[in-house]
Amino acid sequence: MQIFKVGGAVRDRLLGKPVTDIDWVVVGATTEEMLAKGYRPVGADFPVFLHPKSGEEYALARTERKSGRGYGGFTFHASPEVTLEEDLIRRDLTINAMAEDDQQNLTDPYQGQRDLEARILRHVSPAFAEDPLRVLRVARFAARYAGLGFTVAPETLELMRQLSESGELEVLTAERSWKEISRALMEDQPQVFIQVLRDCGALKVLMPEVDALFGVPQPEAHHPEIDTGLHTLSVLEQSALHKQPLTVRWACLLHDLGKGLTPEEQWPRHIAHEHTGLKLIKAVNERFKAPKDCQELALLVGKYHTHSHRALELKASTLLELLQSFDVYRRPQRFEEFIAACEMDARGRKGLEQRSYPQAEYLRGAAKAAREVAVQPLLEKGFKGPELGEALKRERLKALKAYKENS
């Protein structure tokens, strides 16, 4: 029985990056031996066990064979006869197919270290094309390591293209897809994730609404980058540079979907794209079963982002309507995330990345003015029920008018 550290822990140590998760492979052992040593099994179908003290995962060396469609369409074979090399060959990328023993002696049958040094993301074997989830995983690794100069090997991109055209991506469950998408959006360069998906044809399958933005022009006066797809990538890039949370990054990705529906004869203008895009944002939200907070913010940013950009010109009544839509009295954080997404939208324009966004402070001030209207005096005047709501609205409108005059 031999135990090896495998996968990401080996890769990140060799890259000089902090190691967080550690995966272990056990060669030459049976399930009975693992149980006898106090390891606890995880699930019924998988030869994976939790260490009795550390709680880390230890998997028996195994081979796998394609037996159906999609991510789950595999049968596994684990036995003491399976070698370390046989276990490593079923992994996705060469940089994830290395192992080391407790003396840090490296086992690297598929030249993962060479590809690490060359900054290449390359598949281990043709079996890569059997698992559609790997398209998303490779794009995610590209986003994670783009800053170190990593690119996807052309032959791997070709396999990803074949997978994208095979219909296998449609078999992925919403939960598995969202797990990869959400992790990728939180990487250092999430725009690379979207670009790689587009390069291999997967974006057209998974998010046709986002793919449709590429090649759609916008007015150069407002958008020097012109192309709406490139603008979306830039907004996503800004959201990562400014360390925004997942909710904001998701909203940044989807905020301009309506522009993909504009008839060509109306280009480069996109009249009412905020409203036409809502059904598309809703469709993408539902397709991936995005968490409720991500869904809500994406729809609100899609609908109101141009309000934010024109905040200084808005009438007090429009400002009030905006604040009411966000329920800023009970959910101030959501409005703060809306402002952040709109600022990323403004910064995601070629040459304007450093331009200040005074609308942010103006909107925060408006929210503060509306929130400071006290309810107690209205209750003392006898207002209640719907009448109280209307009176509160009138007072908040007064407060916003005063705020506008003094700003």
pLDDT band at 146 (very low <50, low <70, confident <90, very high): very high
pLDDT for the residue 157: 98
Question: Within 13 Å and on the Cβ side, how many CA atoms surround 172?
Answer: 29
**DSSP three-state, residue 48:** strand
Average confidence (pLDDT) over 387-391: 92
Q: Is residue 401 within a helix (H) or strand (E), and if so which, with residue range?
A: helix 385-406
Write out pLDDT tens, residues 284-295: 999 999 999 999
The whole-number pLDDT of residue 68 equals: 54
Q: Give pLDDT tens digits for 156-203.
A: 999 999 999 999 999 999 999 999 999 999 999 999 999 999 999 999
pLDDT at 63: 85
* 238-275 residue pLDDT tens: 999 999 999 999 999 999 999 999 999 999 999 999 99
| pLDDT tens, residue by residue, 219-236 | 999 999 999 999 999 999
Q: Any idea where the domains of the chain sit in the sequence?
A: 1-110, 376-406
**Interacting residues of 321 by C-beta distance below 8 A, sequence separation 6+:** none
Report pLDDT digits (tens) over 72-110. 555 668 889 999 999 999 999 999 999 999 999 999 999
Give the pLDDT of residue 74: 52
The mean-pLDDT minimum among 42-51, 106-115, 161-170, 205-214 falls in: 42-51
Reported as a single tens digit per residue, the pLDDT across 131-142 is: 999 999 999 999
pLDDT for 17 beyond 70: yes
Q: What is the pTM of this model?
A: 0.92
pLDDT tens column, 47-65: 899 999 999 999 999 887 6
Distance CA 166, CA 169 (A): 8
Q: Are 363 and 339 in contact (CB under 8 A)?
A: yes
pLDDT value at residue 75? 66
Domain 1-110 superfamily per CATH: Beta Polymerase, domain 2 (3.30.460.10)
Predicted pLDDT of residue 72? 52
Q: H or E segment at 115?
A: helix 112-118
Q: What is the pLDDT of residues 298-355, one digit of tens each?
A: 999 999 999 999 999 999 999 999 999 999 999 999 999 999 999 999 999 999 999 9
Angle, helices 228-241 vs 246-254, to 10°: value is: 170
